[in-house]
Amino acid sequence: MDCGPSRSTGKCCAARAPPPPRQSLCSPRWTTPEASSPNGRSPTRATRSGAFAPLLDSIDLAGTVITADALHTQHAHGTYLRGRGAHHIAQVKANHPTSFDTVRRLPWRDVGLGHYDRTRSHHRHEIRRLKTVAFAHLDYPEARQALQVVRRRQDLTTGKLTIERVCLITSLPPGTATGAQPAAWIRGHWKIENLLHHVRDRTFREDDSTIRTGRLPQGMAGLRNLAIGVHRQDGRTNIAAALRHTARDWRRPLAALGLTG
C-alpha cells in the first residue's frame, strides 16, 4: 500500500479512496483532539463527538475514506462526510441496537471470504477474515455495504484463544475497493487504538481518573502523551513494561528525558 498523509479526529482516520481501486493513502501520523484542540484537554465522549466536524472542516475530504469507531457512528456524522464528498467505514456496536442487530444477523456463513490475513508477532498468532456484502436497507446515510471482520488471536505464551467479531458499514459502493484495501484501512484504524488510545485507556486508566479541576486534566493528558512518546521514541513497544522498568530507579526516567549524563 502506498502510504502518505492521513488525517484523523478522535479515533477516526482518513485514507484516500481509490478512483477505481489503484491506490490508497494511510499513515500512522495520527492527530487526536487533545493534540488538535487549543487547550489540549483530555476530551470526554461528548467533546470527542462534538469535535468531529470542526476538526475536519479545514481539510479537503473529497475522495477520502474516513474510518471511525462506534462513538462516531452517528447519522449526523455520516451525512456530514457524504456532504463533503468523503466515504465512511463506521463500526457498529450494541449502542446502535437496530443497525447492530441488522448487520449481525446477516447470513455471514453464506458470504464468500473477501480477505484473509495471518500474522505472528509479540508472542501472538493472529488471523483476520473480512467478508463484505452489498445491502440496501441499512439505516445509515448512504450505507451501501455491510462488513464483518473476525479476529482470531492466540497468545503463544499462555495458549489463550480469543475470537472477536466486528461489524461495520460503509458508503463505498460494491466493487469500489478490493478486499485487501478495506482490510488495510480497518487495520490502520485499529493501529491508533494500539499506539495511543488503548495505552491511555488501559495502561493509564485515563477514564477512571478523578482529576477534573481546572487545567489539571489538561496537564495530566500532556504528561501521559509525553510518557508514551518518550518510550516509543526509545524503541519500547510495551508501554506498561517500560513504565515498570523506569519506576524501579529514579534515574531511569531522567535518562529517558535526556536530563542526566
Give me the average pLDDT of each 10-residue run along the chain (261 residues): 38 52 32 39 58 87 88 90 93 88 93 92 86 87 93 90 93 88 87 74 83 85 87 88 92 86 59
Phi, psi (degrees; rounded to nearest 5) at 251: -80, -25
The candidate with the shortest Cα–Cα distance to 89, out of 182, 176, 175, 177, is 182
| Per-residue pLDDT, 22 | 31
Q: Give the helix/strand (H/E) hosting 185.
A: helix 180-192
CA distances (Å), 210 to each of 26, 59, 205, 207, 218, in order?
36, 35, 11, 9, 13
DSSP state of 63: T
Question: Could you read off the pLDDT of 143-202 as tens digits, one per residue?
Answer: 999 999 999 999 888 899 999 999 999 999 998 888 899 999 988 887 776 677 778 877
Please give the single-letter amino acid code of residue 41: R
CB-count exposure of residue 124 (10 Å: 0-12, 13-18, 19+)? middle
Rounded to two decimals, what is the model's pTM? 0.66
Please give the single-letter amino acid code of residue 143: A
Phi, psi (degrees; rounded to nearest 5) at 99: -65, -40
